[in-house]
Structure 1
Amino acid sequence: MQAMSSSITKDEPATELFTGWTKKVIGYVAILILVNVMVDTVLASPTFVLPELSDAFDTNQFAWIDSSAMLAGATWAPLLGKSADIYGKRKVLVITLIVAGFGGVVCMLAPHISVFVIGRVLQGAAVAALFLTVAIIRDICATKFSMVVTGIVTSGSAVFGIVSPFVLEFATDEFGWKFVFVVSAVFAGVAALCVRFVIPDSRNTAPGKVDVKGALTLGGGLAGVLAYISLGQEFGWLGAGPLVVLILGVAALLTWYFVLSRIPEPVINIRGISLSLGLGLLVVVMGTGAYRSMLQLFSLLIDVSPDEGLGYGIAGPGALGLMFGIPSIGIMLGGVVAGAIGTRIGNAWPLAAGVTLGTIAAFVMFTVGADNLPIAVVCSFMLSMTAGSLVTSGFNLASVLAPPERQGTVSSMVMVMVAVGSVTMSFIGSAILGANEIIVDGEALNSSTGVHAYIAVAGCAFILAAVPTFFLVRRMRTQVVPDAA
């Protein structure tokens, strides 16, 4: 088994690629999993306390509370991916962890929803941390081995997810919703120290410059279009404010595409995306979007008892832990299995399996699971396997198709798709629920029609994802994964 040179120190880049497990690899993997545990505390943990956050800030815009960090991540990702390729992945990862940790502190101390959203925007830097861990793996491991390690790193944080819902359910009852953000800030600080002093510096960097103007224009355009979906729900789809936001967002995207994407070193070389990578990105954006929207819905269903007779609701003893804890095993299983399968038959097949599982889970949830906790837990487990498979296979597909010196940039494209899909579907789901509210005893509640329409839209997203999946499988069925970089 080939190992890296023993002369490597914490400040020296790796000179050889690992092809198997060593003590060093295990140590690196443990730290990168810790980084992704922090990412989970940013992206997933707030969903456990959505009702409490809505009450604390007197708002029904739960999509903004839940998805503002992911939306910010879509803005951060291209800029940080390009920076990582130029200045080094370890350095940029440490910076993102520090920014995300500071964002957690802002959220914890926020006196108003606007300040809270600023904190979530800062926490959005954590989204970049996920794809940077994947890029670092590609820097230190040979191609086939890196695919297995990627599955473990991207889904290994789910081990924490098995126990965290049970712990957070108790802790938030005792200390309130702010405890979630204390945990996030602490994990960010510890992870930043571990990465800086243990993980080797980047082996592959590329000369160039970062197109900050292009990154901000692209991110601003995405934010504008997605914000319209949320604002239109409250202020009207033809309201002056939402329409201005939409027009500015579309104008920014068009400016980026026709002007800024044509410069010699664009933040994302969209015209250089191969057909295979493009198909993979389409699968990721729709599949992960559907999964994330369902995760958000589960948080709302847990807050309603089926005894209320609304036609939905799964509240019960330990419901939070059952819905978010046990299914974490599915994320880990889906990611690890997808990585192992990818080394043998390519990454298109695990993507197809993930889309199939997600479609089945959405159908079962729509028909019998919205008011049945045991069935909802099974569906959540299946959707978690979908998430693990899609994320791992998406990153592995990108790493195989991209040269070593562009791993950060190409991995950021995958993360942008994850973020865009998640935010879009969450906002669409929020709009569906808002448009179908009912009044019970003077209180506005989600209707059964809204909940089931929400699930149906997520199921349709999985079905749509099957289309590019089919063509990707046909295109890559003869793919041979190389043994080395």
Structure 2
Amino acid sequence: MPDMSPSSTAEEPAPALQTGWTGRVVGYVAVLVLVNVMVDTVLAAPTFVLPQLRDAFDTTQFAWLDSSAMLAGAMWAPLLGKTADIYGKRKVLVITLVVAGLGGIVCLVAPHIGVFVLGRALQGAAVAALFLTVAIIRDVCAPTFAMIVTGVVTSGSAVFGIASPFILEAATEVFGWRFVFVVSATFAIAAALFVRIVIPNSRIRTPGRVDVTGALLLGSGLAGVLAYISLGQEFGWLGIVPLAVLVVGVVALLVWYFVLSRIPEPVIDIRGIPLVLGLGLLVVVMGTGAYRSLLALFSLLIDVSPDDGLGYGIAGPAALGLMFGIPSIGIMLGGILAGAIATRVGPAWPLAAGVTLGTIASIVMFLIGAGSLPIAVICSFMLSLTAGSLVTSGFNLASVLAPPERQGTVSSMVMVMVAVGSVTMSFIGSAILGATDVVVGGETVNSSLGVHAYIAVAACGFILAAIPMTFLVRRMRGNVVTGVPVSHI
């Protein structure tokens, strides 16, 4: 398994696992959905104001403005997952929410992009909050019922997303882009209080130690490699600074892989990942990366009118609300349906359905959607179904492959894949747009070639995800797992 530490556990007396909807379960779900609403305000809400952020900090590096929190989340996740298994999931969740709230305050008062990115790095702790909510569900619910609840918790926050784009569009016009971070910080502190009051202590804990050095080295390596993609487009792919950052990142990853991943209790035991989980993680990293990159692109397309004659642009009345509000229904439906279907046929099939929908939507977006608001809204809705299905199914797959005492560690791996895929694809997309800029009327704008190449790369991400997806479905055919670890599959 991803964590090969001793399997002995310390169990506290606890009520029997929940097998159906009760008032207690509804209370837990309500609080955990609130946590994920906060996660959405950290990860998704800033995409609504990317053009304003870009102008406020005078930068073309929109990927750093949007994805720095997700990048930091990739660094936070392994460390917090292991810590949660050892010290308790509720305690670690409260800490991550407080840190994310402080990050929102830093972003709110940031005088320049350096401080803003620091704030986003602190907000990255919220990424851990998502997988911790899933691990808590596995603590309090029976395995089969947990699949359904996982779908509700991971996608239920989309209810807030239906109205939030319309509200944020109006509020940011009055108060500016900082309003987004006021909302984020407020939700983080409120969620921390409710978690502390309502959610029970973890009933299962794993004795062991936290490999802080390994987590920092792994995170630094990922950050170095991804930063090269961003710096290369501005300073040259063979420039001294980008190459130095790349070398540092690669060396950090190599040291971690050959040295620190071999210690008795590594933060992630990459050699111990079973084949079926590895296939699932490959699907998640490519599928969610493709979806998140298109989400960032939508924000830029909304800022351009098709009447400008650039070959793209979907600006129009209530475009922001239509692109980000209505599709939130799709995220909720995708997650809930994926959870319900998984109880009957396992999580692999809804994962495959998500990849298929994403592929179709990105191809349609490439052909006709970049310049048509109605078509773009339809594509966005299909992609939101993809997002709900991929995230819920990824967590369900990981949770049924992990023993109870390692839910935090294994769930964190799914979040690492979500973060790495999202950041990588966003940085690649940013590099494509930066390399294909054109000057129109004395102003530098994104070219039609760059926008369509961006969409094509995202479509390729979905197509590549279909390859491991095919092997995963075949591998799990006839194996409807419902909570028993199946690392032998």
User: Identical aligned pairs, as a percentage?
Assistant: 80
Q: Tell me the CA shift for residue 125 of structure 1.
A: 0.1
Judge conservation of contact 1:158–1:331 (CA < 8 Å) in 2: yes
SS of 2:160's partner is helix
Counterpart for residue 191 of structure 1: 191
Equivalent residue, structure 2, for 1:254: 254
Structure 1 unaligned runs (5+)? 1-11
Structure 1 residue aligned with 2:105: 105
Structure 1 counterpart of 2:411, one-letter code: S
Q: Does 1:179 align with 2:179?
A: yes
* Partner residue in 1 for 2:456: 456
- 1:483 and 1:413 map into 2 onto residues whose CA distance is 18
> Which residue of structure 2 aligns with residue 224 of structure 1?
224
- Over the aligned positions, Cα root-mean-square deviation in angstroms equals 0.9
CA displacement 1:27-76 (0-9 Å, x = unmatched):
00000000000000000000000000011111110000000000000000
CA distance, structure 2, for counterparts of residue 71 and residue 476 of structure 1? 31
Deviations for 1:258-292, whole angstroms, at most 9, x for unmatched residues? 00000000001111110000000000000000000
Q: What is the match of residue 5 of structure 1?
A: none
Map 1:383-422 to 2 at 5 A. 383-422=383-422
Scaled by the length of structure 1, what TM-score is found?
Answer: 0.97
| Distance in 1 separating the partners of 2:377 and 2:159 | 17
What is the TM-score when the length of structure 2 is the normalising length?
A: 0.96
Contact persistence 2:47–2:66 (CA under 8 A): yes
Give the SS at the match of 1:370.
Answer: helix
Distance 2:284 2:195 in 1: 28
Aligned equivalents of 2:248, 2:335: Cα separation in 1: 38
Q: Conserved in 2, the CA contact under 8 Å of 1:89 and 1:132? A: yes
C-alpha separation in 2, matches of 1:21 and 1:441 = 60
The amino acid of 1:479's aligned partner reads N
Supply the AA of the counterpart residue of 1:46. P
Structure 1 residues 42-61: aligned runs within 5 Å: 42-61=42-61
The CA distance in 2 between the partners of 1:18 and 1:356, in whole Å, is: 33
1:379-422 per-residue CA deviation (whole Å, 9 max, x = no partner) reads 00000000000000000000000000000000000000000000
Q: Deviations over 1:318-359 (max 9, x none)?
A: 000000000000000000000000010011101110000000
Report 1:65-104 matches (<5 A). Answer: 65-104=65-104
Q: Secondary structure at the match of 1:15?
A: coil
1:479 matched residue in structure 2:
479
Any residues of structure 2 matched to 1:151-162 within 5 Å, and which? 151-162=151-162
What is residue 214 of structure 2 aligned with on the other side? 214
Assess, with a 3 A threshold, how the Cα gap between structure 1 residues 475 and 484 changes in structure 2: closer, same or farther. closer
Contact 2:400 2:483 in 1 (8 A): no
**1:469 matched to which residue of 2?**
469
Residue of structure 2 equivalent to 1:365: 365
Report the Cα offset of residue 171 of structure 1.
Answer: 0.3
The residue that corresponds to 2:41 in the other structure is 41
C-alpha separation between the residues in 1 aligned to 2:188 and 2:232?
35
What does residue 425 of structure 2 align with? 425
* 1:142–1:484 CA contact under 8 A, matched in 2: no
**What is the one-letter code of the residue matched to 2:431?**
A
Secondary structure of 2:79's counterpart equals helix
Q: Which amino acid aligns with 1:30?
A: A
Q: 1:248-397 counterparts in 2 under 5 A?
A: 248-397=248-397
Task: Tell me if the contact between 2:346 and 2:482 (Cα under 8 Å) persists in the aligned partners.
Answer: no
1:68-107 residue CA offsets vs partner (Å, 9 max, x unmatched): 0000000000000000000000000000000000000000
Q: Which residue of 2 aligns with 1:21?
A: 21
**Whole-Å Cα distance in 2 between the matches of residues 419 and 478 of structure 1?**
31
Offset from partner CA, 1:281-315 (integer Å, 9 cap, x none): 00000000000000000000000000000000000
Question: Counterparts of 2:378 and 2:79 in 1: how far apart (Å)?
Answer: 38
d(CA) in 1 for partners of 2:13 and 2:281? 30
In the alignment, residue 72 of structure 2 is paired with which amino acid? A
One-letter identity of the residue aligned with 2:253: L
Q: Could you say which residue in structure 2 is the equivalent of 1:4? A: none
Q: Which amino acid aligns with 1:411?
A: S
1:230-271 CA-to-partner distances (Å, cap 9, x unmatched) read 000111000000000000000000000000000000001111
Q: Distance in 2 between matches of 1:212 and 1:482?
A: 33
Partners of 2:264 and 2:482 lie apart in 1 by 30
Deviation (angstroms), 1:13: 6.3
In 2 relative to 1, CA 315–151 (structure 1 residues): closer, same or farther, beyond 3 Å? same
Residue pair 2:401, 2:483 contacting (<8 A) in 1 also: no
Please tell me whether the aligned partners of residues 306 and 313 of structure 1 are also in contact (alpha carbons under 8 angstroms).
yes
2:404 is matched by which residue type in structure 1? P
CA distance in 2, matches of 1:435, 1:356: 30
- Cross-structure match for 2:235: 235
The gaps in structure 2 that reach 5 residues or longer are 1-11
Distance 1:163 1:368 in 2: 27
Using the alignment, how far apart are the partners of 1:149 and 1:484 within structure 2? 17
The one-letter code of the counterpart of 1:435 is A
Q: Deviations over 1:113-136 (max 9, x none)?
A: 000000000000000000000000
Structure 2 residue aligned with 1:6 = none
Q: Using the alignment, how far apart are the partners of 2:119 and 2:14 within structure 1?
A: 35
Cα distance between partner residues in 2 of 1:336 and 1:78: 26
For 2:401 and 2:122, locate their aligned partners in 1 and report how far apart those are by CA, in whole Å: 31
Runs of at least 4 residues off by over 6 Å: none
Residues in 2 aligned to 1:206 and 1:482: alpha-carbon distance in whole angstroms: 22
1:348–1:393 contact (8 Å) kept in structure 2: yes
> Judging changes above 3 Å, is the alpha-carbon distance between structure 1 residues 13 and 376 closer, same or farther for their aligned structure 2 residues?
farther
Match of 2:134 in 1: 134
**One-letter amino acid matched to 1:284:** V
Partner of 1:444: 444
Contact conserved, 2:151 with 2:392, CA < 8 A, in 1? yes
Tell me the equivalent position of 2:114.
Answer: 114
Question: Does structure 1 conserve the Cα–Cα contact (< 8 Å) formed by 2:150 and 2:396?
Answer: yes
- Deviation, structure 1 residue 478: 1.1
Work out whether residues 42 and 69 of structure 1, in 8 Å CA contact, stay in contact via their aligned partners in 2: yes
Q: What is the DSSP-based 3-state SS (H/G/I as helix, E as strand, rest coil) of the residue aligned with 2:205?
A: coil
User: What SS class does the counterpart of residue 439 from structure 1 fall into?
Assistant: strand
Deviations 1:133-180 (A, max 9, x none): 000000000000000000000000000000000000000001000000
**Deviation readout 1:451-479 (Å, 9 max, x if unpaired):** 00000000000000000000000000111
Aligned partner of residue 409 in structure 2, secondary structure? helix
